[in-house]
Amino acid sequence: MLSTLPFAAFLVDRRGRVAYTNPAAELLFGKTAGRSHGRVLIEVVPSVEFERLVNDGLGGTPSTRDVRIIERDGERILRVTVQPIGGDGVIAVALDRTELVSLERIRRDFVSNVSHELRTPLAAIKLMVETMLVAEDDADARTQFMPRVAAEVDRIVKLVEDLLAMARSESGRLVMRRERFDLTDVAAAVVDTFSHRAATGGVNLDLEAPEPVFVEADRDRLAQVAVNLVDNALRHTPSAGVVTVEVGREHEWALLRVRDTGVGIAHADLSHIFDRFYVADRSRSRGHSGTGLGLSIARNLVEAHGGTLVAESLLGRGATFTCRLPLVSATGESSTLRNVKVDLS
């Protein structure tokens, strides 16, 4: 019966030695039956807490508890149930809950982050509206607060739009409209869009695209990626800095690269910047630091095209984001615009 269970199961005799391990236990802990049978439990499962539960079971006390096991590649969380079987020993079963616990932590963090991002602008709007109500017909109050109310509403709308984009990109099915086009056209349009903002902030925004680079992709989705990368670069680049948008080739890949001379990213933050709602240091951003969703959305969109998005940076020496997409020939027959569903699961 134990051999058919989909989770790890052990028989431990009255001396505390392993008498049986099922196939799921051998797979979970990487120990064959020959290397497990006859050994004390801690040699098979490197956990003092697990051993303590089994010892309690040998003393006649059943229990169910989560046990954390530290391994070389991280932490594993097991739901362990120990049941005495008369005076012959115990049955111990272990269900690996590592992924479930991780998903629950992500869910809690996501809800907490969304709540925080919504609470701040809503509190500001409430305060300003209450002030205007108390002021009644005070034109100066309306002149002062109405633009700020509108800005906070825009902030909420942007957050909701980003959340919807994230939900679509992570749903497992994302509708793409593919066509063959020069990636330089998208980069040039985005640079033109941000040129006024860059000039106002004293940042030099350049485009380097020495040759046509063709991709077969969703033009609007890639424009969204470029917008996120350039917006991120401008927010973290001080006056007199430089943001450079490059389009080029690398073997079979088309490259869209955004480099800046801004504040850079600390090494500890670099591996997390594509996480949802992760903002390395809001105090280093110029103005509003964004929702923390842009880079995560950009990565999902690039991966939906079969590409990659990576970041390189040294704190205080700027950052470089490189998007690689499958390169296509400009001489081939042009693709017909069509709807394509991309499986992101």
Residue 283 is predicted with a pLDDT of 45
CATH code of the domain covering residue 43: 3.30.450.20
Residue 241 is predicted with a pLDDT of 94
Residue 196 is predicted with a pLDDT of 93
Residue 5 is predicted with a pLDDT of 85
State which residues form the domain around 138: 100-170
Question: Measured on CA atoms in the order 225, 230, 235, 236, is the torsion positive or negative?
Answer: positive
Tokens of 175: 């509708």
Pick the last residue of a domain from 96, 124, 152: 96
Q: Same domain for 117 and 27?
A: no
Q: Same domain for 240 and 196?
A: yes
Residue 173 is predicted with a pLDDT of 61
Q: Same domain for 233 and 336?
A: yes
Residue 280 is predicted with a pLDDT of 62
Write out the DSSP string of 152-181. HHHHHHHHHHHHHHHHHHHSSEEEEEEEEE
CATH code of the domain covering residue 160: 1.10.287.130
* Angle subtended by helix axes 219-235 and 183-200, to nearest 10: 30
Q: Which of the 8 DSSP states describes residue 201?
A: T
Q: Same domain for 335 and 215?
A: yes
Residue 330 is predicted with a pLDDT of 63
The whole-angstrom separation of Cα 282 and Cα 205 is: 23
Pick the last residue of a domain from 170, 199, 232: 170
Q: Same domain for 106 and 78?
A: no
pLDDT in single tens digits along all 345 residues of the chain: 888 888 899 999 988 898 888 888 888 888 776 778 888 888 888 888 988 999 999 988 999 999 988 877 778 899 999 999 877 899 999 999 988 888 788 778 777 777 877 887 888 888 888 888 887 777 887 888 888 888 888 878 877 877 777 776 666 566 778 999 999 999 999 999 999 999 999 999 999 999 999 999 999 889 989 999 999 999 999 999 999 999 999 989 999 999 999 999 888 888 888 887 766 654 444 444 556 678 888 898 899 899 999 999 988 889 999 999 999 976 544 333 334 444 443
The amino acid that residue 345 corresponds to is S
Per residue, what are the HEC states of 211-258?
A: CCCEEEEEHHHHHHHHHHHHHHHHHCCCCCCEEEEEEEEECCEEEEEE
Residue 103 is predicted with a pLDDT of 79
Please compute Rg for the chain using Cα positions: 28
CATH code of the domain covering residue 188: 3.30.565.10
Q: Same domain for 210 and 287?
A: yes
Alpha carbon distances (Å) from 225 to 61, 286, 294, 324, 341: 58, 20, 8, 12, 19
Pick the last residue of a domain from 64, 96, 128: 96
The whole-angstrom separation of Cα 339 and Cα 329 is: 21
Tell which residue, 275, 318, 159, 299, has the closest CA to residue 224.
299
Q: Same domain for 92 and 104?
A: no
Q: Same domain for 210 and 330?
A: yes
Structural domains of the chain, count: 3
Tell which residue, 259, 218, 217, 263, has the closest CA to residue 237.
263
The whole-angstrom separation of Cα 59 and Cα 130 is: 66
Q: In this structure, are residues 27 and 45 in contact, taking their beta carbons and an 8 Å threshold?
A: no
Q: Same domain for 152 and 179?
A: no
Q: Same domain for 240 and 328?
A: yes
- Residue 196 burial by CB count (10 A; 0-12/13-18/19+): exposed, middle or buried? exposed
First vs last Cα of the chain: how many Å apart? Answer: 34
Q: Same domain for 236 and 141?
A: no
Cα torsion at 112, 118, 119, 120 (round to 10°)? 120
Residue 334 is predicted with a pLDDT of 38
Q: Same domain for 179 and 124?
A: no
